[in-house]
Amino acid sequence: MQTNPETNSELSFDDFKAEVLNDYKIAVTSRECSLLGRREVLTGKAKFGIFGDGKEVPQLAWAKAFKNGDWRSGYYRDQTFMMAIGELTVQQFFAGLYAHTDLEADPMSAGRQMGGHFATHSLDAQGQWKNLTAQKNSSADISPTAGQMPRLLGLAQASKIFRNVKGIKNKTTFSINGNEVAWGTIGNASTSEGLFWETINAAGVLQVPMVMSVWDDAYGISVHAKHQTTKENISEILKGFQRTEEDQGYEIMRVKGWDYPVLIETYQKASALAREEHVPVLIHVLELTQPQGHSTSGSHERYKSEERLQWEREYDCNLKMREWMIANNIATEASLDEIEKSIKKEVRDGKKAAWEAFLAPQRKEQQEAITLLTNLTESSSNKNFIEKIKNELASDKEPLRRNIAAATRKALRYVVNEESSEKRQLLDWIENYFETIQPKYSSDLYSEAEENATTIEEVPPVYADDAEEVDGRLILRDNFDAIFSKHPEVLIFGEDAGKIGDVNQGLEGMQEKYGEYRVSDAGIREATILGQGIGMAMRGLRPIAEIQYLDYILYCLQIMSDDLVTLRYRTKGRQKAPLIVRTRGHRLEGIWHSGSQMGGLVHLLRGMYILVPRNMTKAAGFYNTLLETDEPALIVECLNGYRLKEKMPSNLGSLRTPIGLVETVKEGSDITLVSYGSTLRIVEDAAKELQQVGIDVEVIDVQSLLPLDLNQDLVKSVRKTNRLLVIDEDVPGGASAYIMNEIVDVQNGYQYLDSKPQTLAAKPHRPAYGTDGDYFSKPSAEDIFETVYRIMHEADPKNFPKLR
């Protein structure tokens, strides 16, 4: 008798036989999809192919151990697993290859990711959380190798939080007592990446329910394992992580990737251990193959010996499973031949259906365009030119939207001097076409819900008559206290964030009050701190990941840029990670902890908010605002502001700073000065000095860089003053240039300028060490004064004679 892994009940031989045969059908189906998928790429119907062939059998075993509520964070070869858990059909597989923009056709990404990148839906069509414990969950894949690892850590840690923290709202829709396992997969070569090692170490420290599968086929693209891994064996060199009776660590298992029954036993053991005891497990799956090589970009015959290729043919996991089934009287060779023949037809039919479904809407759009072009030819003196464009479009049997849009737009060039109803109809159609089609490729970068972070209204700070002047850090600390009391799902973690209450004491006493699960220290490992936050946010918690200094963002920038900020977009709004990233920066002396990477961050982090409060009251308000919504954000606190005095508000926990709105901190009539963060205080000092010489400046704090000035108040100021200077401590061409572009180009401020708009940035290097180094590296009050004075001198040399 055999045991059903799902129910732990005994199976009859007939039931066991049926289950094995079903598994084999899934394996063969997946293999046929890989083989036919490669052909579709080579014919040009699909743009790129990277497939899961050679990894089918271990993924069948994994799927049997995977339960409702569990999470996958894998890499782009897990198609068999997705089929086995019922989340990927043949037609969906090919729809993904063809980049079908309908979420019903390609539920993984609606054509936004190449094939092999898998996801399930955590959110419904209205953007509300589904019951994640009632389904099998896959976090949306990313291509960068090992990029899935940091997120995996957070997905696993969430189970630990749910098991140990009381009072979390709607807990049972996200977890059942922390019993969920986070399952990771990676190719053996990608274990060379730093993200793998950082995650493995962190999971061992945290003791989270994570099972990590390493698919080992001895190569990384064309490079053999001897060039990738010490001793050519990842589990061998990870032996020091093996737990003992005295020390916590990993359970490390090895299994051959073609041994179906042993694979099932191995994955069941790993599941039970991680699920019940929250022990991380590493499964090294050896002796796998990659029958088609790495991808459609090359052939593995170029770099594998004939001996290796012959071994791969003999030890193909599907072939070995087939041999095992015949040897154990589960099936005959003839019956398996019949199954394989039937599946080949099913896959071909699925491919054909996917292609026809992909083309159907485009053929309809093509016909609409042809009709409009036909009408235009009848009314135009350039009939022959338009007819040629129409005929070329009509001859396209498999039309792409690019070709449809290009044809109609090119036709307009021939009627530029003509007026007709046919031309008007074509113009209207093109405008409507882009309004309809563009969102298929551009929507959901940010939340598109009616209530999102930019709609949360401001709640100004309230001050008692006898409000005390306190260090800014105390405002942050007491606001965090209010947050932790109000939101049991909020937790914060980072280097020095726990016991000592962060390096600037903004969390003083919080760990003692709320416990180590909610306010915790982390190792020096920024990428996985960020990953902890992503994974926990994907599971319904509200983490705040603290990166100690702005410079250290560079350690986790790849994870922020490739994973966090693209998540909502790459799932077309069906997954989210409302993570708050807390850091501090600006105006500290020296190369480190003082540089400003804002220009780079603004461009690399589209998809999350970048908030730059000028003081701690504003920062506290941003945290409160973000916790009223569900979007990721980076908050950069002023590093030199923790000891500066501010009035203590009486409404901490409820005051809110608006996102995307600028604030005029001083009104003026002669010139608009725009800045943010710590630099704004220097601008204010310079404004006072300029007033003394008769120059009345308007000072505006942008407050948030992403989004920037949603109400377009900056251009209103320029319309009043007719002059503009943007001041920033970033390098030239960085954030100041970004702000300038918004005002002059996007908001059309150029038309109101009487003087050349200018930026005043730092020198093109990090600040030199010391007070003097800082002064000669970044904009000073004197720099601002003299730059403004020169602008006014050019405009009115009589009243403002040359300064120097």
Cβ atoms of 184 and 152 within 8 Å: the answer is: yes
Strands (E), 304-416: none
> What per-residue string of b and e applies to 351-384 under the rule 16 or more CB within 10 Å gives b?
bebbbebbbeebeebbeebbebbebbbeebebee
Separation between Cα atoms, residue 210 and residue 207, nearest integer Å: 8
Question: Comparing C-alpha atoms, which of 752, 703, 769, 760 is closest to residue 736?
Answer: 760
Mean residue pLDDT of the chain comes to: 95
Q: pLDDT higher for 761 or 223?
A: 761
Tell me the residue type at 653. Answer: G
Provide the token pair at 581: 């990233």
Provide the token pair at 309: 């290729």
Separation between Cα atoms, residue 661 and residue 618, nearest integer Å: 12
- In what helix (H) or strand (E) does residue 220 lie, and over which residues does it extend? strand 219-220
DSSP per-residue letters across 643-663 = SSEEE--S-TTT-BPPSS--E
Residue 1: what pLDDT? 44
Separation between Cα atoms, residue 588 and residue 565, nearest integer Å: 28
Cα distances (Å, whole numbers) of residue 204 to 133, 152, 199, 242, 281: 25, 13, 8, 10, 9
Q: Residue 666: pLDDT band by 50, 70, 90 thresholds?
A: very high
Strands 609-611 and 580-585: unpaired
Tell me the residue type at 490. Answer: V
Separation between Cα atoms, residue 721 and residue 733, nearest integer Å: 24
The stretch 226-232 carries a mean pLDDT of 92
Q: Look at residue 8 and tell me whether its pLDDT is greater than 70.
A: no
Residue 9: what pLDDT? 65
- Taking only the tens place, the pLDDT of each residue in 752-795 is 999 999 999 999 988 888 889 889 999 999 999 999 999 999 99
The stretch 42-57 carries a mean pLDDT of 91
Q: CB count, 10 Å around CB of 669?
A: 12
Separation between Cα atoms, residue 281 and residue 651, nearest integer Å: 47
DSSP per-residue letters across 669-710 = SSEEEEE-TTHHHHHHHHHHHHHHTT--EEEEE--EEES--T
Q: Look at residue 535 and tell me whether its pLDDT is greater than 60.
A: yes
Dihedral sign from CA coordinates of 407, 409, 410, 415: positive
How many residues in total does the chain contain? Answer: 804
Residue 7: what pLDDT? 58
Q: Look at residue 610 and tell me whether its pLDDT is greater than 80.
A: yes
- Taking only the tens place, the pLDDT of each residue in 276-292 is 999 999 999 999 999 88
Separation between Cα atoms, residue 394 and residue 355, nearest integer Å: 19
Residue 804: what pLDDT? 77
Q: Residue 2: pLDDT band by 50, 70, 90 thresholds?
A: low
Separation between Cα atoms, residue 799 and residue 804, nearest integer Å: 15
Cβ atoms of 59 and 260 within 8 Å: the answer is: no
Strands 2-3 and 10-11: antiparallel
Strands 219-220 and 223-224: antiparallel
Q: Look at residue 402 and tell me whether its pLDDT is greater than 60.
A: yes
3 state DSSP class of 152: helix
- Taking only the tens place, the pLDDT of each residue in 541-559 is 999 999 999 999 999 999 9
Look up tokens 């159907």; give the residue.
360
Separation between Cα atoms, residue 714 and residue 672, nearest integer Å: 8
